[in-house]
Structure 1
Amino acid sequence: MYELKDKELIFVFTGPNGAGRRTVAQMSGNTLGIKQVISYTTRPPRPSEMDGQDYHFVSSETFAAAEANNEFIEVVEIDGNRYGIKEADVAEQLQKFGAVYLVLNRFGAEALKKIYGDKIVRIFIYADRETVERREQERGDSPELIKRYMSHYDEEMAYKDSCEHVFENLDLAHTVFDLTKTLDETYLKRNLLDLD
């Protein structure tokens, strides 16, 4: 298991599907100069997703082979699809950049917290149920898929109180501004210019 050095940190963006956690994470990462560690999954990509950018989309066989080889830090299964994070990817990015981020559901966030303790900073991104449902419709998710995602909404929201930071994402620019300021002041100390 990779041992994190003193100043190395892993930021984990979590929250209900459709709350904008991936978009917030990417914009915050770009602003702060933090790179993403991309998870692997056996599920097919959504129309708007790209391999190597949103996830590494792999076959069940490829995933199983990597798992048998103990390449994953953690593996979770949701709705019949498997998700995992490769330890080598985390180690490589941390050694290069000192801080990384991941976008995970509550199971992945909790698994990493148990492994790495206070080196994991969980950032909960959420929006109300109606907003989340509207965003899922706007990105072209099928009614069946939306129903499945929304069936997990309350369970995901229940994880909010376990996270180190919580941001409601109703206005993207505002959320990213507040979040990057908080992470910079609390953890990174990169003295970003305050453009207010």
Structure 2
Amino acid sequence: MYALKDKEMIFVFTGPHGAGRKTVAEMSGSTLGMKQVISYTTRPPKATEEDGQDYHFISPAQFVQAQANGEFIEVSTVNDHLYGIKSADIERMFQLSGSIYLILNRFGAETLKKLYGDHVVQIFIYAQRDTLEERMKESGDSEEIASKYLSDYEAELAYRDQCDHVFENVDLAHTVFDLTKTLDKYLNRNLVDLD
């Protein structure tokens, strides 16, 4: 496992599926010059997803082999698909940037917090249940997939109490603005507020 240096920070974006974690994380990360560590998964890509950008899409056999080799620091199963983060990827991204971010479910967020303690800042992004249903429909998720994700909504929402910061993502620009200002306090980049 990679040993973090003093000022190295890991920002973990978590929250219910469809809340906009990925968009919010990417926009804030880009503004603050942070690099994303991309997870591996055995699930097939959605039509809008790209290998190496959204996830590293690998076969179950490749995943099991990497797991047997001890390459993953965190593994979870969601809807019968495996997800994992490689320690080598965390180390490589820290070589490119003093702070990194990941987009994870609550189990992954919890694991990273246990591993890296105060170096991990958990950011919970959520939206109301009916908003999530609407977003999932718009993104082309089937009714079956949407109800699978929403069946976990209450458990996901309960996890926000364990996170360092909570943002309801109603207005994307507003959420990203507030979040970027919050993260800047950890990074001391002294972004200028032009309001």
TM-score, normalized by the shorter chain, greater than 0.5:
yes
1:13 alignment counterpart: 13
> How far off is 1:47 after superposition?
1.6
In the alignment, what sits opposite 2:191?
Answer: 192
Letter in 2 for 1:45: P
- Per the TM alignment, residue 195 of structure 1 is displaced from its structure 2 partner at its CA by 2.2
Task: After TM superposition, list the pairs within 5 Å mapping 1:43-54 onto structure 2.
Answer: 43-54=43-54
2:154 aligned partner: 154
Percent sequence identity over matched residues?
66
Aligned partner of residue 70 in structure 1, secondary structure: coil
Amino acid at match of 1:101: Y
Which one-letter code corresponds to 1:26 in the other structure? E
Could you say which residue in structure 2 is the equivalent of 1:175? 175
Post-superposition CA distance 1:55-79 (Å, at most 9, x none): 0010001111110100001101111
Q: Name 1:109's counterpart in structure 2.
A: 109
Matched-pair contact (CA < 8 Å) for 2:25–2:101: yes
Report SS of the residue matched to 1:77. Answer: strand
State the match for 1:126 in structure 2: 126
Aligned residues: 195
Secondary structure in 2 matching 1:159: helix
Q: Residue 24 of structure 2 aligns with which residue? A: 24
Runs of 4+ in 1 over 2 A off after TM superposition: none
Query: 1:96: how far off?
Result: 2.0
Paired with 1:125 and 1:193, the residues of 2 have a C-alpha distance of 24
Cα distance in structure 2, aligned partners of 1:149 and 1:73 = 24
Alignment of structure 1 residues 29-40 onto 2, 5 Å: 29-40=29-40
1:78 counterpart = 2:95? no
Superposed CA RMSD in Å reads: 0.6
Unmatched runs of 5 consecutive residues or more in structure 2: none
3-state SS, counterpart of residue 91 of structure 1: helix
- TM-score scaled by structure 1? 0.98
CA distance in 1, matches of 2:184, 2:39: 25
CA distance in 2, matches of 1:23, 1:102: 12
- TM-superposed deviation, 1:168: 0.5
Contact 2:13 2:124 in 1 (8 A): yes
Question: C-alpha separation between the residues in 2 aligned to 1:162 and 1:95?
Answer: 29
Residue 166 of structure 1 is matched in structure 2 by 166
User: What amino acid is the match of 2:96?
Assistant: K
> Counterpart in 2 of 1:4?
4
Please name the residue that 2:98 is paired with: 98
Letter in 1 for 2:174: H
Letter in 2 for 1:155: A
Runs of 5+ in structure 1 lacking a partner? none
1:172, 1:87 → 2: CA distance?
A: 31
Aligned partner of 2:72: which letter?
F
What are the Cα deviations for residues 150-181 of structure 1, in whole angstroms up to 9, with x where unaligned? 11111100100000000000000000000000
TM-score (structure 2 length as normaliser): 0.99
CA distance in 1, matches of 2:116, 2:182: 21
Q: Is this contact kept in 1: 2:35–2:96, CA < 8 A?
A: no
